[in-house]
Amino acid sequence: MPFHMKRATSFLAATAVALSLTAHAAHAESKKLFVNLPLSGPWSNFGDGMFNAFKLAVDQGNASGVLGDLKLDVVRGDNAGDTAQGASLATKAGADPDVVGAFCCWTSGIGLATHAIYNRYGLPTILGGSNDHRTTRPYHKSAVIFRNSPYDLINMKMAAYFAAATKGFKRIYAIDDNSAFAVTQVNEFTKAAKKLKGDGIIIGRESIVPGEKDFTSLLTKIKPLNPDLIFFGGRIVEASLVRQQMKKLGFDAPIMSSGGVFSETYIKITGDAAEGSLASFWGLPMAYYPEGRGIRFEKDYAAAKFNQSYESFGPMAYAAGQVFVQAAAAANKKGDVTREAVLKELETGSFSTMLGDFKFDEHGMLDILHIAIYEVKDGKWNILYRTDRAATELKPVK
């Protein structure tokens, strides 16, 4: 073959390969998942860990090949714990046609302020940490909202059962920080405790103001009532200050809290005064998740070398990322990856996550519930009890 013909043949072959690659690149699709979390401000320890864990799951999905020619990009949205900012981010996510899913919000107040926005845009949304039952169907009509952790009606029932029945506390004083999350949580705790042991078990209740620093006057008023438990609905900083000031006053009753306080950060800033603190939380130690999935997550998170801990809500965020990857992969196999297609997969699919294998029910609630009771001992949260899969009873952990 003449030299010029060989060159022409080589050129045509190279052109064919280039056109093939171009066609494949054109077919390859990129979609977005929008994260709406407190990545700055007083709750950033939770938000950073959740963002990192969510992104880790999505990055792993992209690298695994399960998505085929689809790539999922994670959009970092910082609501700074501010309701207006959270609502603005929800609107921004809804208005972007490339966003096919959202992960929100940690705080119940932002969850309550955004679910109607996500619904208006038809944007499938998984809640991470928003514990108020009003953020969950059927307590609202936003059909795009899902959650992968139980809400306060279930959590507080278990917390009250532990306090009133299992532990046998007889005189409980309740404090909330006047936020939507805390007020509803304390309402449900006191309601459940009274149902178990009568009205007399709750000997008083007070609301504080977030940002308040000195609780000496309140605690001096409460101490002579001889409560055997303080139930605190609120968040880390105020809970830590209450606990430290209780100790300074020689006020030895334990303090019990929930998801807003259950954190390694609480122990770090409270110091020795944290010993004996109790918490009810919708998550387990890593070794307790099925088939070593929690341990694998912990190793993968460490290998990714994030600057922040995954904190207590990291596992739920990681599972949410896994769910979106699996929903998007299933939609991609069937056709276009649209909001409608992802929503259908969330409604009908089965998901394998580090939390376990589950489906969402007709209200967008997962059918596996992990609730555990913890106590701070020797500077660490130690699990005492956990629920069965349906969260109908507490079982001691040996």
> What is the CB neighbour count within 10 angstroms for residue 230?
23
DSSP, residue by residue, 65-88: STTTTEEEEEEEEE-TT-HHHHHH
CATH topology match: 26-149+286-359 vs 153-281+372-396: yes
pLDDT of residue 210: 87
The CATH class given to the 153-281+372-396 domain equals alpha beta
pLDDT of residue 20: 41
pLDDT band at 132, cuts 50/70/90?
confident
Q: Which distant-in-sequence residues (6+ apart) come within 8 Å of 116 by Cβ? A: 140, 142
Residue with token string 């705790």: 189
358-363, Cβ contacts within 8 angstroms, sequence gap of 24 or more = 358/148, 360/146, 362/137, 363/136, 363/137, 363/138
Tell me what percent of the chain is helix, strand and coil, each rounded to the nearest 5: 50, 20, 30
* Confidence check: pLDDT of 398 > 90: no
pLDDT of residue 28: 61
Q: What is the pLDDT of residues 233-252, one digit of tens each?
A: 999 999 999 999 999 999 99
pLDDT band at 309, cuts 50/70/90?
very high
Put the strands of the sheet holding 380-387 in their side by side order.
202-207, 172-176, 229-233, 255-257, 278-281, 372-377, 380-387, 394-396
pLDDT: which is higher, 357 or 20:
357
Q: What is the pLDDT of residues 158-180, one digit of tens each?
A: 999 999 999 999 999 999 999 88
* Confidence check: pLDDT of 19 > 50: no
Which range among 105-114, 135-144, 319-328, 389-398 has the greatest average pLDDT?
Answer: 319-328
CA distances (Å), 72 to each of 69, 84, 151, in order?
10, 27, 29
What percent of the chain stands above pLDDT 90? 85
Q: Which distant-in-sequence residues (6+ apart) come within 8 Å of 377 by Cβ? A: 275, 276
Q: Which distant-in-sequence residues (6+ apart) come within 8 Å of 93 by Cβ? A: 34, 36, 75, 77, 99, 102, 118, 121, 123
Domain range 26-149+286-359, its CATH number among 3.40.50.460, 3.40.50.2300, 3.90.1310.10, 3.30.70.20 = 3.40.50.2300
d(CA 250, CA 208): 21
Q: Region 56-70: what's the mean pLDDT?
A: 97
pTM for the predicted model, two decimal places: 0.89
Going along the chain, which residue ranges are E strands? 29-37, 70-78, 99-105, 125-128, 145-147, 172-176, 202-207, 229-233, 255-257, 278-281, 350-353, 356-359, 372-377, 380-387, 394-396
d(CA 268, CA 229): 22
Indicate the domain borders of the chain.
26-149+286-359, 153-281+372-396
Which range among 17-21, 40-44, 181-185, 344-348 has the greatest average pLDDT?
Answer: 344-348
- From the number of C-beta atoms within 10 Å of its C-beta (0-12, 13-18, 19+), residue 81 rates as buried
**Choice among 61-65, 128-132, 244-248 with the minimum mean pLDDT:** 128-132
Q: What is the mean pLDDT of the chain?
A: 92
Residue 281 — φ and ψ, nearest 5°?
A: -140, 145
What percent of the chain stands above pLDDT 70? 93
